[in-house]
Structure 1
Amino acid sequence: MEVVRGLLSLALLIASCLAEVNSTEDEGKSNCSASLGGANIAENHKALVLQLNPSENCTWTIERPENESIRIIFSQIQLDPDGSCQSENIKVFDGTSTDGPLLGKVCNENDFVPVFESSFNTLTFQIVTDSATVQRSVFTFYYYFSSDISIPNCGGYLDTLEGSFTSPNYPKPHPELAYCVWHIQVEKGYKIKLNFTEIFLEIDKHCRFDFVAVYDGSSTTSGLIGKVCGRVTPTFESSSDSLTVVLSTDYANSYRGFSASYTSIYTENVNTTSLTCSSDKMRVIINKSYLESFNYNENDLQLTDSTCRPKLSNVVDFSIPFDGCGTIKKVEDQSIIYTNIITFSASPPSEVITRKKQLQIIVKCEMEHNSTVEITYITEDDIIQNQNALGKYNTTMALFESDSFEKTILESPYYVDLNQTLYVQVSLHNSDPNLVVFLDSCRASPTSDFASPTYDLIKSGCSRDETCKVYPLFGHYGRFQFNAFKFLRSLSSVYLQCKILICDSSDDQSRCNQGCLSRRKRDISSYKWKTDSIIGPIRLKRDRSASGNSGFQHQTHAEETQNQPFNNLHLFSFMVLALNVVIMVTVIARHFVNQRANYKYQKLQDH
């Protein structure tokens, strides 16, 4: 038994020494490189506080469940303030390694909150630091989300001169894991004043968990004006005619969210008048100082239809619809012209003479080809003034759930099955009922810049794909359907681009009414406008049985995960082996003891 006790003590001593060596090795290693998938795959969200040393090169890999996407947000970045973007940065890759497509690169001097989304089932990010001895820290959190689930009232487009919007569910608690983007776009010559009447989010000094970010422009990378959280009521002002607002929330501590409103401030120094033509209306701005030079008051102005009144602020603002307020439409050859007249109220009937000029401002929007030509002039009784500008017609393209074209698909990217039927509609946003939309050509590409390769679905009004069906002319809507496909040797994304023609429905000889032309003549009948619409990306859902490399990616990721506890596995294996040795020694020792007990001793007789 003493032998057994000695062997057991030796085994425990060896195990203790190995554990101490293992612990020392772990402390000496940089703990920046780790896998977030593998054993932690059940964690649908995770926050990381990364403390970085000089001369680091660290890589993390995140693997998502099937049919879900990964969104990662770097809500606080503190790197070397004097370091260059080349020597110290964060890179995010779409895939299992740094060899995958680069989604983006972040440096210390970025003026936006970096947000990235995966299209593969894994996402990798790498942090490289220079040799400077400074404090560095990065706070990031990621989560999985389903592209099939959308949050109501989460983001959108606001294009009126003034308006309001709130966070989803306001004033009830905002949803968890929400990322909502509102784009505010007003007309040229204005800037935007944004006022938050309430913000009630999780309080944090650096707004790392829940926050509202406001950008000075039309995108989330156009310059960060401010990032706020907690309980505040800030006001922001853009430098141009566009503003972007983002709400980002994590997975804990939901509060009321926010309520906001905005107004437009006219910024241009206009001495007389200006005109802009949008998709379904014309807008005239008249400076009050210009009216005062003629001894007129802004209340004396009126349109052909005197019931349509202007909006008065620091300027006189007329918003004139193409199908109202006395606007006259005239079709001429290759163009359609909308005209209205701004006049001053007539003098009282009792007056016989006047020393004021009879001022008339005639406004015209001429729509031609792929742009609008804008003309303003004043009649010869007064000063004649001409102003020209350019614009484009407002069209959108969207996917729908069925051939009834009733329910729009809002998810982006939209995940589909191979060979699934997709229903596409191009819409013209215009109040003139006598216009029709014609699909001249539609093509697909694996990239948003439509570089090679591309694939024609419709060309010259004719279907070029065996699954593509073009619907008949239907007013302001151009419609077609086709079966989903993927490009060979390319990513699984597909973008669509359509060139559309807009014609007057009363013109029987127009290009729109001619339909499919397999061989186009040079001088065919006219169309009124030509413009482009783009939609995408459309992506294929993950199919484990059909994905050629998904198993390989999973295996590689599992191996990386297993390397991390490798020493612990060694220790456990040794202890099992030592225990087996102890058991074997015990059995053998007992055998010898029993054998000795069975010996019979006989006393020798004395001779």
Structure 2
Amino acid sequence: MNVFFSLLLLASLEKCCDYIKVYNGPSIFHPFLGEIKEFRNQSFKSSSHDLTVVFFSDHSVSGKGFHANWLFVEESCGGNMTDWTGELFSPRYPNNYLDNSYCTWTIHSTGNTTVSLTFNDVDLETCCDYIRVYDGPSTLHPLLEEIRDYRNQSFKSTGNTLTVLFYSDSSVTRRGFHANWIFVATHPQCGGQLYDSGMFYSPNYPNYYHDNAYCVWFLSAQQGQRIFLTFADVQLERCCDCDYITIHDGSSTGYPQLGKVCYNDTTHQAFHSSSRYLTVVFTSDFSGVSHGFKAHFTSSLTANEGSVDCTSDNMVIVLQSSYLNSLGLSGNDLYVDDRLCRPNISSTEVVFRFPLDTCGTAKEMINGFVSYTNNVRASPSQSGEITYQSLYLLQVGCRMEPDTIVQIFYKAKELVNANITGMGRFNASIAFYTSRNFTQQIYDSPYEVNLNQQLFVQVKLTRSDESLDLFLDTCVASPNPNDFKNRSYDLLRNGCPRDSTYLSYTNGVDQYARFSFRAFKFLQTHAYVHLQCKVIICPDNDYNSRCRKGCQYRRKRSLDSSYNTNTVTLGPIKLRGQKPVAGHGVKESEKSME
């Protein structure tokens, strides 16, 4: 039961000195609900079984006093909220909520306004109880987030309505939650549906945006395409929880968040959708504004229009002649950022092929990836000569993963010696050397060694690049080239030596890493041993990168998420130029096409 206390009549009180006070509980030491000095039809509801009412008058001047009614009511939760501002809380808050609660609140604004909802306190049984916020008038609309703990969460509806669902199971209750909502006036020229490619801006850009902005852009492309989003300028209030941009990988804000942009940071702010949709949300709070942002988005070509791929050494751009013809262009019209780089032209396709560090290709680290970008441009002419009035056609790029796995194997023999090298998907190779000087590489295959012989290994970038560092994160030995988990032996794990004979010479500060260890017969039963090493690539000028952190016995989750990308291994290992064994090469679907 709750106590519902309604003040029906208050004739008069001496406003300066006499008052009524109401407390949420059995004494004045419980939460204070309000003070009454005049008639305003005030009502109060307890969060548990008790209310305490205190009347005070001083030594002079008296009035008619007050009249009030109280009523016991059954516990209830949820409802339809239409006031322009108000608060939500779990049943009995701040006391523990009940088991088996299921409450739904619908907050509905009217006119040209949206709903802004902020959670000020959340204390739930995190395993089993939760709050869900939906962008619409029911739980059938897009889910914005599920809340199980307090992280100062705020939400804004894209329309007039938000729905809040609270659920608790049959055991363990806690304090619950408290939230406030307010209706926010929307502004014109904010958000919208955008297609294919183009630019969009914060309201009033480059002038100051307004307080309480909530803008949602829904970006879409043709079927089979993906969207590439970059921020050319970002100037927001220097408070990442106040004004910010969020990017969602899908057609609404209910899809996973790819990232958050705030302050004035345009570094590493490039985002790729996994489908034809991307949703961008700009949020500003009630105080502090700046110039805002400018964003550019493009869509990839479909498979029957063109593709771009990067090998260890080259960028290869393929455009179908039928696609160019639809634009009124031919291969003779095309060039890249270096005007002297021209394509090979056939009847069906136009192909650019050049080394990654030529033809004007730009390289940078974006979101933990090494990114190579260029532009295909066109200057239509009758003669095929390049003119200086270029027509922008296509941005192309390759994204190289920051980690890879390279693998070699050797054969343990009682009396002999030898080697075979291999290459991982990222620009790295691994090889045995004859000594710690690492001057003479061993090319024999297989590498047959004596037990306890000291082996010298070098892992390096296939193409020299002094701006990158290579870090050996993990090296594992196994008798099975397809299984480095169940029957494996760690030489190195998370940058930490696990084998007593492992000795590192260079790691994490150059474009190569070197180490040695003593040969062993795996589990004394397998003569052939495969060695697999996980490599991480970092920019040389980033002194906070994983490469510079060295051994980490307990890898922080944030570091794992920054560097954990899909990798492939090649095995059995083949020398460069040999055809990979079926099932061990790079899958076509895993190649990057931007």
TM-score by length of 1: 0.36
- Considering fraction of residues, name the structure with more strand: 2
Q: Which has the larger radius of gyration?
A: 1
Higher relative contact order (CA 8 A, sep 6+): 1
TM-score by length of 2: 0.37
